[in-house]
C-alpha cells in the first residue's frame, strides 16, 4: 500500500491509499477520485516529504546511524499502541466494504431519513433497510422515540 497527499484545484489537501502508483494513475484517469471536501475530480498529487526509514547500518553519514535529513517536517514515530499504516489500510478497506454492502442492500432515502425511519417504526410502511442523512439533533430525537439508528463513517471513494 502507498499513501499519497492529493489536492484539488481549490487547494484542498487530503490523503488516499492505493495499491501502487499505477492504481492511482488509472483511478485518476477514470475519474474515480474526488476531493472529499468539494467533490472536484480534477485531483493531482500534492508535494509531500519523503518517508525515509531510519537505518542503523554503519558508515552512513557522519558517525553511522540514519542518513541525514534535509528539509521537510521532522521525522515522527508512532505513539505506543497506535495502529500501523498496514492496520490503517486494512481499516479503510473494511470501511469501504461496509459502504459497498450498505449501498447494495439498503434503500437510500437521503434527507428523508428521519421521516422514513419513523414511518417504518410506526408500521406506516413496510419494514426495510434504509440509509440516508440526519443531523445529530434528528438522530437524538429518533433515539428518544425508541427508534434505533446508527452512524457509519462514510469514506469518500478513493480506492477500490
The whole-number average pLDDT for the span 149-155 is: 84
Distance CA 97, CA 74 (A): 35
Q: What is the per-residue pLDDT across 12-44, written as a single tens digit (0 to 9) for each? A: 888 888 888 888 888 888 888 888 877 788 899
Length of the chain (residues):
160
Those residues whose C-beta lies under 8 Å from the C-beta of residue 5, and which sit 6 or more positions away, are: 13, 14, 15, 45, 46, 47, 48
**Taking CA 156 as the corner, what is the angle to CA 155 and CA 158, rounded to the nearest 5 degrees?**
115
Q: Distance between CA atoms of 12 and 6, rounded to whole angstroms?
A: 8
Which of these, 120, 107, 125, lies nearest to 147 by C-alpha position? 120
User: Structure pTM?
Assistant: 0.49
- pLDDT given for residue 63 in this prediction: 45
Q: Is-contact 37 46, C-beta < 8 A?
A: no
Condensed to tens digits (0 to 9), the pLDDT of residues 102-151 reads 999 999 999 999 999 999 999 999 999 999 999 999 999 999 999 999 88
50/1 Cα distance (integer angstroms): 15
Amino acid at each position: 500500500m502507498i499513501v499519497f497527499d492529493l489536492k484539488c484545484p481549490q487547494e484542498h489537501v487530503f490523503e488516499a491509499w492505493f495499491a501502487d502508483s499505477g492504481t492511482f494513475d488509472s483511478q485518476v484517469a477514470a475519474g474515480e477520485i474526488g476531493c472529499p471536501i468539494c467533490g472536484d475530480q480534477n485531483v493531482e498529487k500534492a508535494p509531500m516529504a519523503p518517508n525515509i526509514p531510519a537505518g542503523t547500518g554503519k558508515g552512513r553519514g557522519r558517525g553511522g546511524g540514519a542518513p541525514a535529513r534535509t528539509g521537510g517536517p521532522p521525522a515522527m514515530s508512532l505513539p505506543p499502541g497506535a495502529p500501523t499504516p498496514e492496520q490503517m489500510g486494512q481499516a479503510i478497506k473494511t470501511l469501504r466494504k461496509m459502504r459497498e454492502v450498505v449501498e447494495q442492500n439498503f434503500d437510500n432515502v437521503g434527507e428523508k431519513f428521519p421521516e422514513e425511519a419513523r414511518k417504518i417504526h410506526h408500521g406506516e410502511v413496510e419494514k426495510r433497510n434504509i440509509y440516508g442523512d440526519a443531523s445529530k439533533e434528528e438522530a437524538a430525537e429518533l433515539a428518544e422515540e425508541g427508534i434505533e439508528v446508527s452512524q457509519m463513517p462514510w469514506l469518500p471513494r478513493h480506492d477500490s
